[in-house]
Amino acid sequence: YHGALRGWSLQLEMTWLPAAPSGLRVWQATPLLQGLFQRLADWPRQAGDEAARRLLGVLADELAWAAPYPAALAWPRHPALRKLAQALQADPALDWDLQRWAEHIGMSRRSLIRHFRAETGMGVAEWRERLRMLRAQALLAEGRSVSYCAQELGYAGSSAFIVAFRRCFGQTPGRFLSA
């Protein structure tokens, strides 16, 4: 995480929420999720288990519908694909086409496309965009300007960067900074 963090963390035994996914997950907070987390934070310890189960049932339903927060990025395991990922991490503005990447890492274009999606769950362009957005959050948290971020991350201008940021996070960089 970079900069100020605002959110909730809830740890429950799986017996309380058996349908919940295992492992760590991050979701975008809807107003209902915010209310549920606030209510659970204030939950009286002497309250009956049945009432808690009903509330947790609503939480499970809402989490099933909630959009994941784009805070994580799966990295490829294959050495050639990791080489591509590391090159993009070092220079997120790098804008090579798939054929050039394939030649650079010693794979066919089709194999690159197929294996990258299988290992990361997304295509190279989508993965690169997510990488740039995660880097943008860090730069903004460091106090960098929108125009600096746009240039550093390889966008044609501030407007293109703002559009990409909003598409990924559902808010403008300015709103992100004021949250």
Report the distance separating Cα 173 and Cα 169, nearest Å: 9
Structural domain including 164 reads 79-178
List the CATH number of the domain containing 148. Answer: 1.10.10.60
Residue 178 sits at φ, ψ, to 5 deg, of -85, -10
Residue 134 domain flag: yes
How many separate domains does the chain show?
A: 2
Q: How many CB atoms lie within 10 A of CB 158?
A: 16
pLDDT for residue 118 is more than 70:
yes
Domain endpoint, select from 69, 92, 117: 69
Q: How confident is the model at residue 158 (pLDDT cuts 50, 70, 90)?
A: very high
Is 50 found in the same domain as 18? yes
Report the distance separating Cα 11 and Cα 34, nearest Å: 15
CB 20 within 8 A of CB 63: yes
Of the chain, the percentage scoring pLDDT greater than 70 comes to 82
Residue 1 domain flag: no
Q: How confident is the model at residue 126 (pLDDT cuts 50, 70, 90)?
A: very high
Is 84 found in the same domain as 169? yes
Residue 65 domain flag: yes
